[in-house]
Structure 1
């Protein structure tokens, strides 16, 4: 039999420790944060920048044509820039060993597990999440997906998973 822990009901909820109240380096965001800025890959170049870049653009164009017709995926494809969303957080991983990119709401959206290639997904992949499971006597008594990212679930897709994590209760903090 599982008993509920006894809580001290006299403690004011405002005085409880919250991860977003820590001081020091890092970037913090709550799950219900709405980013104010719209991310774009670059600004329009000036005429001088275009002129200076012509030799590179010419070489790159021939390189792009060769690899496109050979059906090879390019490491950086200047003619098809990646879409950016303002939700991206710091990746989980290290330099040279691959990484999985997460957004600050808990969803996974970028993968660079193969050296030199980034599998960039603009939308959150529903099946890629951390799940908290509490078991007692071999039985699952509580389970919740640790993400509040908006995603489209179709039909019975992952219907056994609980995606109802409250956005206001998710705190993201990264130290980089």
Structure 2
């Protein structure tokens, strides 16, 4: 991505908790900021920071900007759901997080809801997977199919507002598609 201002004035929410895959939050956040977007890290449980999972051990700590319960999806142009196994598994048990995802998908101002790797588990929990064509990390393919989704093995898949990708290798395509949708 170039150092441009194509997303100047755009706001992006990244919803995560402890155990998010480090590259799937930090790299998209930095790429969106490079394009001029304002990015808020949202979380649950009144946390002031959250700790990444980095491949096989705990990674960096990231500051939480706001609690998901204190903001409205309408405040954002896009919502991004990073993966990792721990992060989406915890978030799908939090009503505030699931409700926020549902509301973001139906909000007029939100143009993209992106989920990468295991992040699409949150699309299952929020009911958004049903009838959608999605991709994900291969190990949750059956979960998506059982939720009524059509699963495909592509770098980035768009279904209405939903943007999904498989793994950290797809981050550039994932961020590029979300950027294109909200620019």
TM-score with structure 2 setting the length: 0.28
* Larger gyration radius, structure 1 or structure 2: 1
TM-score with structure 1 setting the length: 0.29
Larger relative contact order (Cα-Cα within 8 Å, sequence gap ≥ 6): 1
Higher helix share: 2
Higher strand share: 2
